[in-house]
Amino acid sequence: MATTAVPTTLSPHATLKPDSNSGVWGWLTTVDHKRIGILYLYTALAFFIIGGLEAVIIRAQLQGPNGTLVSPETYNQLFTMHGTTMVFLAIMPLSAAFFNFLIPLQIGARDVAFPRLNAFSYWVYLFGGIFITVPIFFLVAPNGGWFGYTPLTTKAYSPGINIDFWVIGLQILGVSSLAAAFNFITTIINLRAPGMTLMRMPMFTWMSFVVQFLVILAFPVITIALVFLLFDRFFGTMFYTTAAGADPLLWQHLFWIFGHPEVYILILPAFGLVSEVLPTFSKKPLFGYPVMVYSGILIGVLGFGVWAHHMFAVGMGAIADSVFAVSTMLIAIPTGVKIFNWIGTMAQGQLRFTTAMKFAIGLVALFTIGGISGVMHSSPPADLQQTDSYFIVAHFHYVLFGGSIMGIMAGIYYYFPKMTGRLMNERLGNWHFWLNFIAMNLTFFPMHYSGMLGMPRRVYTYDSGQGWDTFNLISSIGAYMLVAATLIFVYNFFASRKRGEIAGANPWGAGTLEWTIPSPVPEYNFAVLPTVTSRYPLWEGSEKDAESARINSQEGKTAEELGIILPYSTIKPMIVALSMVVMFCGLITTMALTFLGAAIMVVSLYSWLLSPLEPEHH
Amino acid sequence: MKGNSRLRQLATFGLVALAVLALGACAAEYPNTTFQPKSEFARSIDFLWDRLLLLGTIVFVLVEAALIFVIFRYRRRPSDTSTPPQTHGNATLEILWTIIPAVILIFIAIPTVKTIFQTQAKVAAGALEIEVIGHQWWWEFKYPQYNIVTANEIYIPAGRTVNFKLNSDDVIHSFWIPQLAGKRDMIANRTNYIWFTPDSSLGPAVYNGFCTEYCGTQHAKMRFRVFTVRPEQFESWVAGQQKPAAFGAVASAAPAATGTPTPPQSGVGPEGGAARAVPRPAGSVIPGSDSFPAAAPMTGASTARLASGYTFPDHQPEFAYARPNSTIPANLKFTKGLTGNAARGQQAYSSSACIGCHVITGNPMSQGIVGPNLTHFGSRSTIGAGSFPNTPAYLALWLKNTRAMKPGSIMPTLGKNEYDPQLKTTVTTGGLDDQQIADIVAYLMSLK
Amino acid sequence: MSAPAAHHYTTTGLDNRKIAIWAFIGSECMLFISLISTYLIYKGRSIVGPYPHEEWTSPEGRHFEPILDIPVTSASTFVLLMSSLAMVLALAAVQNKNVPKRTTGERIIGSSKLWLWMTAILGTVFLGFQAYEFTSFVHEGLTIRTNLFGSSFFTLTGFHGAHVTAGVIWLLTLLAIDYRRGLGPNDALNVDIAALYWHFVDVVWIVIFTVVYLIQ
Ligand code: HEA
Ligand code: HEA
Ligand code: CUA
Ligand SMILES: [Cu+2]
């Protein structure tokens, strides 16, 4: 195994090719943040496709009134898994792909703080994702909605195995997110290159930094909510048993105390990516950098004080309603500042409309729509008409698809060369963007109307003559177009990986640190730890920046030649992750499995912790 | 060029938006629209909505306009070789676009809070009390002031404040009549209230109600109907509902309708000959299921209504939206041309599983409380919580295989040799044959 | 985790693990806040007894004393507090391993082994108390399935107990290393982190003891 630690020079696009660099085994045992980031990227895109297909079936069922494509039971599993998949298995991990790949490069580090823990996070995510996704293929998937309200999800009303997959699956995924968050917080606090002060950090790293805090503070809450549900379902506790006097709102509060910060966990990384793309293609530094930082932090903080805006219909009373209404509205202010500062960044610049730029602008244009409908929900009386109708569905797809997905797509087109050494095809990219942009609006804009015209969400069918037919038809057509758009992207991605034109270190003429090093990035990232004296070392840097940039940009040196020590590759994190998931599987099969898994986990964990991370320094 | 198509994009959206909004105002096309408030509650929400829409649109237009302007004005031209001004920010601007949204939000927050307190104020005395209890997947309605218990349909007098007391018997449901008020959740261990006053100007009309909190398999088909009626019609309806099962009433009223009376106990026994001769008032022909969804005519129904208080006249074209049109399972068939006999039906009903779950006041055998109260079943316009029109044809199929008609429903499959998708078994002994079902249909339909 | 070799540059000069453990503890706070607030929300919501501080007679006429036994738990709380003290001394012992004895200033009272054992044992004693408490509650008729109080009480204290158990195992691991090759100043950080965790778990218990046992 130690041999895999001996770095070999990378051919262009090597980092993307599983068979490069000591083969599949190399990927199973890698602790290199770049390769782990790429693993995240592939896995999350796969889950995005699955979640998308579920959505397309949903749209096919709702295309016309009295649809009979799928049974009610199947439909309920579809929307539950669609939401769960998109949120936990697609967007969060897509962000994680960028955390992994980018953060060390942006702050001038050789790797994350805990490379093996990083590998562990990925494997837990992969196995957890498989665990929660497989049931849909046997139509025994979770069917309680993505926020699994109790008492519906308790054994009394969901006796089947479906919800068990959901409870346990989310528990597993939580472990992954938390482990990753501790890792990145440490990395950002502690592994910044000399001179990389907090207020010089690239905006993506900043937003990721905020997100990690949201994760470590929000995930424990849903962990506990899920533990209660798990105990109720498996050990007969009564946390959600209304017959025993339980309060059905306990779950809702716990879930949304997690749930609202979660939505900012989903959007802030996209905001960060856009804040990298816009300056580069405007040839101007980010407008109002400090305000962008503070607004990001403020969004994160306020995000913890608004959860009950998901509960305006539960009858909290006038005072609570008013308080949460106002706190919710406040969030519009820092978010608005971001929107305007992005426009300010473009103003007076020289805009180059690459695909990445188009997607970034797409986010600014579309997220604003979703944000505004969000503010419309924030007025409780008005929300009493909107809540649980398609108007809400419209809102969160504008912020999630128009926001998160658009931003992530911008990021993929922008950083593809850094990952693979090759550029993505711009012509196909152009098609992808416009089809995506038009189809996205076709799909989700009509939902504003079907919602305000009385269509409840989560209905597997509806009567004709309710005035919803046309809007649903348009939405469905849009969804079909999105398939085409996504297929173009998928093709472009793989084709460019093979045949895209060679990019070079800095194809876009960008200014931040990650562009000072070769593409694809050598295993050790930086030949010398750079010394940073400004926010855009390549644009406004001093002699110092130029010097380290010059050294770091030269290709072909191996870590050995440079005397850089890299951590050993190791399979242990993966074994621990696997045995942990096995342990959880025991809950729904046989306890024996649980003990087996636990045993293997403990043993492999010890051998991991007691084995050295890397060769001794000599 | 790209920019242009982008511009066209936004333009078309603007237009579509306006066009549809205009349509949204037209209730016939959009029976569940929230843009046509029919109560002071809905109207105060609509006022807020207009405010939100206006300010939202202003923000939207400003942002997108600024964006488009920047896109066109500052796109790189071939001539550009110099680096653009490397501005890092602008304090005044940034303060400005922090203040402006804040101000806009104040204009939203103030009416919001006002409306919150106004709509959640204590209800005025003398309001009509209606208790609503959510069940998977149907609605139980109680009028404590008139001790009426009914299901899936409510009558409310225009102009009188109604105070709904909301509870759930199982999971969380949510109560929504889009044209009359916002939503309020129905939660076990917790009593919620929502009250509003339907405009006194309202004539007799029907409104669709929905369950809007996901509550399991048939959340989609947990619907109800609301009839706003004139006060005197309401009184008449109440009088009718307060009577015990109107089966007797039909019988006694029957002479007025037709020559031959139908004493409740007649026509019993194996020799159904006499019973078959029983004319329509208490019976009803059930057409073969291939003639669906055309409903079988209920001759004499009107006379029955006379005896049983006001009920909202069925099948009026302007209220077609309140008539369910769910498709029925293709493989579910019913013998053509059977005539049901209400008297035999009562017998069959009273000795079948039905009584375990349903109450029919006036039928001492029928005391079950799990399912909807059927006392005045015949006077209702839908079955299965708004799943199907309440006609003999649909009812027959419903009784034959509920779980095929409404998958997941708690009411079991009753028809002989029918497959129960939940129990995964075929009903054999104790199952009802088509003739028995026809009789029960006749019985239930006669409960005005 | 094995220490990254000393040559690794860090921005703050602190070791990564030190920062990570603080992040971890922050996260753990939210975990226990959720548990404790649930306990408080459900306090007094149970529709059947037994109850924490009040007597209860069941419809069948069975009589239940108040469940919580404050004297006993005070004792176990004291034990846990003492274990924190032992932990402090253990850390001091490790840090000053090579400091010659009898030098003024850091005067070592006992070896790292002694104090690590002490901490681990006191922790185990605390767990013993908890085991005793749980079993006696079950005998008195309160299980995790009895009522909301039972569910939330056992889950909350059980979670804390699990944390203590993990801590004890951690301490024993350190002891194993100590016996194998002796813990020296360059292991101080490992012990320091274990100590941080141990003190945190201790503080959490103080809160639980106050909220669950003392406040009626
Ligand atoms: C990426 C995820 C994301 C983001 C960023 C947001 C952002 C916001 N959301 Fe959204 N929301 C969701 C994802 C998200 N939401 C999801 C998934 C749900 C549904 C969950 C479920 O039920 O399944 C939901 C539901 C939801 C509800 C509950 C609705 C209901 O169920 O009844 C509410 C209510 O207040 C709300 C409000 C807001 C607000 C005020 C913002 C604000 O942050 C928006 C701020 C942004 C802007 C306002 C635009 C830019 C600002 C300007 C241009 C300045 C000027 C603007 C004004 C002065 C108005 N959201
Ligand atoms: C980031 C999150 C995200 C994203 C991106 C999406 C994307 C989409 N969503 Fe969804 N959605 C949610 C999050 C998201 N959604 C959530 C949280 C809910 C709430 C769930 C709940 O109520 O519990 C929801 C609910 C929801 C509903 C409401 C269901 C209901 O209430 O009954 C609908 C209905 O139209 C819908 C539609 C869509 C569509 C058409 C897309 C499209 O944008 C999808 C586009 C993607 C694709 C089309 C994939 C492409 C597929 C291929 C390319 C396949 C072919 C290729 C190969 C085989 C290689 N979503
Ligand atoms: Cu009841 Cu949805
Ligand atoms: Cu929210």
The answer to whether the CB atoms of A73 and B407 lie below 8 A apart is yes
Each residue's pLDDT tens digit, B223-244: 999 999 999 999 999 998 888 8
pLDDT of residue B275: 32
State the Cα angle at B17 between B212 and B110, rounded to 5°: 65
Residues in chain A with CB shorter than 8 Å from the CB of B117 are: 318, 322
Looking at all shown ligands, the one closest to residue A312's CA atom is 1
For range A66-94, the mean pLDDT? 96
Query: Does B14 score more than 90 pLDDT?
Result: no
How far is Cα C19 from Cα A516, in angstroms, rounded to an integer?
Answer: 29
How far is Cα C35 from Cα C19, in angstroms, rounded to an integer?
Answer: 25
- Give the residue among A59, A81, A80 at the shortest CA–CA distance from A70: A59
**Per-residue exposure over A309-322, b if at least 16 CB sit within 10 Å of its own CB, e if not:** bbbbbbbbebebbb
How far the first Cα of chain B sits from its last, in Å, is 69
Residue of C nearest to A234 (CA): C145
Three-state secondary-structure class, residue A185: helix
Lowest mean pLDDT among A11-20, A250-259, B243-252, C79-88: A11-20
The answer to whether the CB atoms of C152 and A239 lie below 8 A apart is yes
Q: Contact A349/A282 with Cβ under 8 angstroms?
A: yes
Query: Does A12 score more than 80 pLDDT?
Result: no
pLDDT of residue B21: 57
For residue B138, the surrounding DSSP H or E stretch is: strand B138-143
For B151, list phi and psi in degrees, rounded to 5: -145, 140
Q: Is A140 on the interface with C (CB under 8 A)?
A: no
pLDDT of residue C3: 41
Each residue's pLDDT tens digit, C18-45: 999 999 999 999 999 999 999 999 998 9
Q: Is A614 on the interface with C (CB under 8 A)?
A: yes
HSE-CB at A200 with a 13 A cutoff on CA atoms is: 22
For range B180-199, the mean pLDDT? 96
pLDDT of residue B81: 78
Query: Please, which residues have CB within 8 angstroms of residue B50's CB and are 6 or more apart in sequence?
Result: none
pLDDT of residue B163: 97
The pLDDT profile of chain C, 216 residues, written as one tens digit per residue, is: 334 444 578 888 899 999 999 999 999 999 999 999 999 999 989 988 899 988 898 888 888 888 898 999 999 999 999 999 999 999 988 888 776 665 545 555 678 889 999 999 999 999 999 999 999 999 988 999 999 999 999 999 999 999 999 999 999 999 999 999 888 888 889 999 999 999 999 999 999 999 999 988
**What tokens does A427 get?**
């012509």
Each residue's pLDDT tens digit, A211-250: 999 999 999 999 999 999 999 999 999 999 999 999 999 9
* Distance in Å, alpha carbon of B156 to nearest chain A alpha carbon: 21
Supply the DSSP symbol for A281: H
The answer to whether the CB atoms of A438 and B9 lie below 8 A apart is yes
**What tokens does B42 get?**
């809905």
Lowest mean pLDDT among A350-359, A402-411, B284-293: B284-293
Q: Contact A241/A232 with Cβ under 8 angstroms?
A: yes
Lowest mean pLDDT among A5-19, A564-578, B220-234, B341-355: A5-19
Q: Is B74 on the interface with A (CB under 8 A)?
A: yes
The answer to whether the CB atoms of A289 and B88 lie below 8 A apart is yes
Query: Please, which residues have CB within 8 angstroms of residue B180's CB and are 6 or more apart in sequence?
Result: B38, B39, B41, B42, B196, B198, B207, B226
pLDDT of residue A617: 62
Each residue's pLDDT tens digit, C87-99: 999 998 888 877 6
Q: Is B245 on the interface with A (CB under 8 A)?
A: no
ipTM confidence: 0.91
Distance B26 CA to ligand 4 centre (A): 32
- Give the residue among C167, C189, C188 at the shortest CA–CA distance from C18: C189
For residue B129, the surrounding DSSP H or E stretch is: strand B128-135
Partner residues linked to B157 by β-bridges = B229
The answer to whether the CB atoms of C145 and A223 lie below 8 A apart is no
pLDDT of residue B301: 38
For residue B193, the surrounding DSSP H or E stretch is: strand B192-196
Residues in chain B with CB shorter than 8 Å from the CB of A287 are: 87-90
How far is Cα B66 from Cα A365, in angstroms, rounded to an integer?
Answer: 10
The residues of A annotated with a catalytic role in the active site are 82, 111, 146, 176-177, 260, 262, 264, 275, 309-310, 335, 338, 457
Nearest CB partner across the interface for A381, out of B115, B212, B213: B115
Lowest mean pLDDT among A91-95, A321-325, A499-503: A499-503
Residues within 6 Å of ligand 1 by CB: A 147, 263, 266-267, 309-310, 312, 328, 331-332, 335-336, 339, 368, 371-372, 374-375, 377-378, 383, 386-387, 392, 395-396, 399-400, 403-404; B 59, 63, 101, 104-105
pLDDT tier for residue B362 given thresholds of 50, 70 and 90: confident
How far is Cα B53 from Cα A375, in angstroms, rounded to an integer?
Answer: 10
Q: Is A566 on the interface with C (CB under 8 A)?
A: no
The answer to whether the CB atoms of A388 and B183 lie below 8 A apart is yes
Q: Which numbered atom of ligand 3 lies nearest the CA of B137?
A: 1
Per-residue 3-state assignment (H helix, E strand, C coil) for B277-304? HCCHHHCCEECCHHHCCCCCCCCCHHHH
Q: Is A238 on the interface with B (CB under 8 A)?
A: no
For range A246-259, the mean pLDDT? 96
pLDDT of residue B307: 54
Q: How many CB atoms within 10 Å of residue B260?
A: 13
Residues 177-196 of A with CB under 8 A from C: 178, 181-183, 185-186, 189-192, 194, 196
pLDDT of residue B429: 81
Each residue's pLDDT tens digit, A469-480: 999 999 999 999
* Distance in Å, alpha carbon of C118 to nearest chain A alpha carbon: 23
How far is Cα A267 from Cα B203, in angstroms, rounded to an integer?
Answer: 49
The answer to whether the CB atoms of B170 and A151 lie below 8 A apart is yes
pLDDT tier for residue B382 given thresholds of 50, 70 and 90: very high
Helices A469-499/A33-62 angle, 10° precision: 150
pLDDT tier for residue A582 given thresholds of 50, 70 and 90: very high
Q: How many CB atoms within 10 Å of residue C216?
A: 8
Each residue's pLDDT tens digit, B252-272: 333 223 323 233 332 223 333
pLDDT tier for residue B367 given thresholds of 50, 70 and 90: confident
Per-residue 3-state assignment (H helix, E strand, C coil) for A322-390? HHHHHHHHHCHHHHHHHHHHHHHHHCCCCECCCHHHHHHHHHHHHHHHHHHHHHHHCCHHHHHHHCCEH
How far is Cα A592 from Cα A235, in angstroms, rounded to an integer?
Answer: 17
The answer to whether the CB atoms of A565 and C6 lie below 8 A apart is no
Residues in chain A with CB shorter than 8 Å from the CB of C28 are: 220
How far is Cα B323 from Cα C54, in angstroms, rounded to an integer?
Answer: 57
* Distance in Å, alpha carbon of B308 to nearest chain A alpha carbon: 30
Distance B137 CA to ligand 3 centre (A): 6
Residue of A nearest to C1 (CA): A609
Each residue's pLDDT tens digit, B60-76: 999 999 999 999 999 98
How far is Cα A250 from Cα A242, in angstroms, rounded to an integer?
Answer: 11
Q: How many helices (H) and strands (E) would you count in chain A? A: 23, 0
Is pTM beyond 0.90? Reply is: yes
Looking at all shown ligands, the one closest to residue A459's CA atom is 2
Q: How many helices (H) and strands (E) would you count in chain C? A: 5, 2
For range B311-338, the mean pLDDT? 87
DSSP-assigned letters across all residues of A109-142:
-SS-S-HHHHHHHHHHHHHHHHHHHHHHHTT---
Q: What is the average pLDDT value for chain B, to the nearest integer?
A: 82
For range B123-145, the mean pLDDT? 95
Lowest mean pLDDT among A24-28, B255-259, B347-351: B255-259
Q: Is A339 on the interface with B (CB under 8 A)?
A: yes
Q: Is A321 on the interface with B (CB under 8 A)?
A: yes
Supply the DSSP symbol for C97: T
pLDDT tier for residue B276 given thresholds of 50, 70 and 90: very low
pLDDT tier for residue A540 given thresholds of 50, 70 and 90: confident
* Distance in Å, alpha carbon of A484 to nearest chain C alpha carbon: 42
Query: Please, which residues have CB within 8 angstroms of residue B257's CB and are 6 or more apart in sequence?
Result: B281, B300, B303, B304
Query: Please, which residues have CB within 8 angstroms of residue A5's CB and are 6 or more apart in sequence?
Result: A566, A567, A568, A569, A614, A615
Query: Please, which residues have CB within 8 angstroms of residue B356's CB and are 6 or more apart in sequence?
Result: B368, B370
The answer to whether the CB atoms of C152 and A216 lie below 8 A apart is no
Three-state secondary-structure class, residue A527: coil
Sign of the dihedral defined by the CA atoms of residues B384, B390, B394, B396, in that order: positive
**What tokens does A494 get?**
């793989």
Q: How many CB atoms within 10 Å of residue B12?
A: 12
* Distance in Å, alpha carbon of C14 to nearest chain A alpha carbon: 8
C-alpha B184: how far from chain center? 15
The C-alpha torsion from A505 through A509 and A511 to A513, rounded to 10°, is: -10
pLDDT of residue A22: 65
Q: What is the average pLDDT value for chain A, to the nearest integer?
A: 93
How many CB pairs below 8 Å do chains A and C form together?
125
A490 lines ligand 2 (CB under 6 A): yes
Which residue among A80, A136, A393 is best mutated to probe the pocket of ligand 2, counting the most ligand atoms within 8 A of its Cβ?
A: A393
Sequence-ordered alpha helix ranges (H) in C10-111: 16-42, 70-95
